[in-house]
Amino acid sequence: PATARERPDGDVSVGGVRLTAVAQRFGTPAHVLDEEDVRRRCRAFRRAFPDGEVAYAGKAFLCRAMARWIAEEGLSLDVCSAGELAVARAARFPGERMLMHGNAKTPEDLRAALDHGVDRIVVDSFHEIARLAALAPDTARPRLLVRVTPGVDGRTHAAVTTGTDGQKFGLSLASGAAAEAVRRILAQRRLDLVGLHCHLGSQITDVDAFERAARRMVAFLARIRDEHGVVPPRLDLGGGFGVGYRDGEPGLDPATLGDRLRGAVREACAGHRLPAPLLTVEPGRAIVARAGVTVYRVVSVKHAPDGRLLVAVDGGMSDNPRPGLYGARYEARLVGRRCLGGDRAAAVVGRHCEAGDVLVGDARLPADVRPGDLLAVPCTGAYHHSMASNYNLVPRPPVLAVRDGGVRPLVRRETFDDLLTRDVG
């Protein structure tokens, strides 16, 4: 995180709080979240899109405090389930600043969105359009965006590529499915088409791809005007803005992204003689990934025959499934004491019953790393706690907010009682 400071004794402080003190007080593993860092990134996105809307993608990480920070910083919120909506509501997040996503929203999700005044629903199938027309109350027409698959490849991991045809999200621009969805909504008096949406995928660092998508979407808006005589006012270009996970890795700078995306939309609109749409972007990872760090305690160390140290910690794939799912690569560093002697090639491995449970395969750690040492893995604020599991019935770690030298739990550590609560057989 931006406020991380190395101390002469080898400790690291984040938000003015020493990680050793956090570990001592709250135990390990623990997710530490730098509140000021989150807020700073919210403001950077707001500045980058001054006339647009920045909707934080709650799937990256959501709890009531996070929803309050997002609300206070003037962002909107993208939820993708009745569960995320329930947490947002518990934080009194305003419905008029929420939108709902999902390729398979259940009737329960849709009803929750309609009941709670979620401003916009992003429709992703013909079935959903029909379902919404049936569910729509007589008093208010649901406001819809059509999720368009623009046929633009963001060149990221296949599991998080969503801008191309053939994957499960969106209605294809190329096949005409998107145009058909627009027709069906416009033909439904009970539904209100307010715009278009696309999302290319996640952890994308190629701004050209976002610009290409923006141009295609504007061209589609122009076609809708030509065919139907209406111009839906909103254009939502999704999220997916990449961040650097390890030292020296590039991430997208929000200011550059904002300039280029707004420029591309402005030019394309001028070319088609369209009024400028109200732009939305939906960053998740770019808001919260780098604000998080996970602290683990070393449980055991082995020497592999290839000379590497196998450093096993008290967490693993249950708190960070990303290396296993996407080949994601992290750094790990010793905190809390100075490193004596040289460093060694090491694999930081988890505690779970799978050989694939490797957190950092290519770490460098002090040769004398030993049980009891603390390791910090940076850049774990997005898609870690939100994707955590109870594999091997390991309780999920807490999320602790640090700010101005203080630490407070946002989500407490899971207990064995929590695990047993649902076991009702």
The residues that touch ligand LLP, with contacts defined as CB under 6 A, are 57, 59-60, 78, 101, 160, 199, 202-203, 238-241, 282-286, 322, 326, 382-383, 387
**The two three-digit tokens of residue 43, written as one number:** 């403001």
Spatial distance between the Cα atoms of 335 and 374, rounded to a whole number of angstroms? 6
**The two three-digit tokens of residue 209, written as one number:** 């791809």
For residue 382, the minimal CB distance to ligand LLP (Å) is 6
- Residue whose C-beta lies closest to ligand LLP: 284
For residue 110, the minimal CB distance to ligand LLP (Å) is 16
284 is annotated as contributing to ligand binding: yes
Identity of the residue, 27 or 324, whose beta carbon is nearer to ligand LLP in the bound complex: 324
Inter-axis angle of helices 254-272 and 35-48, nearest 10: 30
**The two three-digit tokens of residue 153, written as one number:** 């490849």
Of 42, 63, 339, 353, which one is the catalytic site residue? 353
Identity of the residue, 142 or 284, whose beta carbon is nearer to ligand LLP in the bound complex: 284
Closest C-alpha to 191, from 237, 146, 246: 146
Identity of the residue, 41 or 59, whose beta carbon is nearer to ligand LLP in the bound complex: 59
283 is annotated as contributing to ligand binding: yes
330 is annotated as contributing to ligand binding: no
Q: Are 347 and 360 in contact (CB under 8 A)?
A: yes
Spatial distance between the Cα atoms of 189 and 185, rounded to a whole number of angstroms? 8
Spatial distance between the Cα atoms of 84 and 81, rounded to a whole number of angstroms? 5
Catalytic-residue membership of 353: yes
Identity of the residue, 20 or 202, whose beta carbon is nearer to ligand LLP in the bound complex: 202
Spatial distance between the Cα atoms of 415 and 128, rounded to a whole number of angstroms? 39
326 is annotated as contributing to ligand binding: yes
315 is annotated as contributing to ligand binding: no
For residue 321, the minimal CB distance to ligand LLP (Å) is 8
Pure H helices in 6-92? 19-26, 35-48, 64-72, 82-90
Q: Residue 33 in 3-state DSSP?
A: strand
**The two three-digit tokens of residue 416, written as one number:** 């064995």
Q: Which residues are annotated as a binding site for pyridoxal 5'-phosphate?
A: 240, 282-285, 383
Q: Which residues are annotated as a binding site?
A: 240, 282-285, 322, 326, 354, 383
Tell me the catalytic residues.
Answer: 353
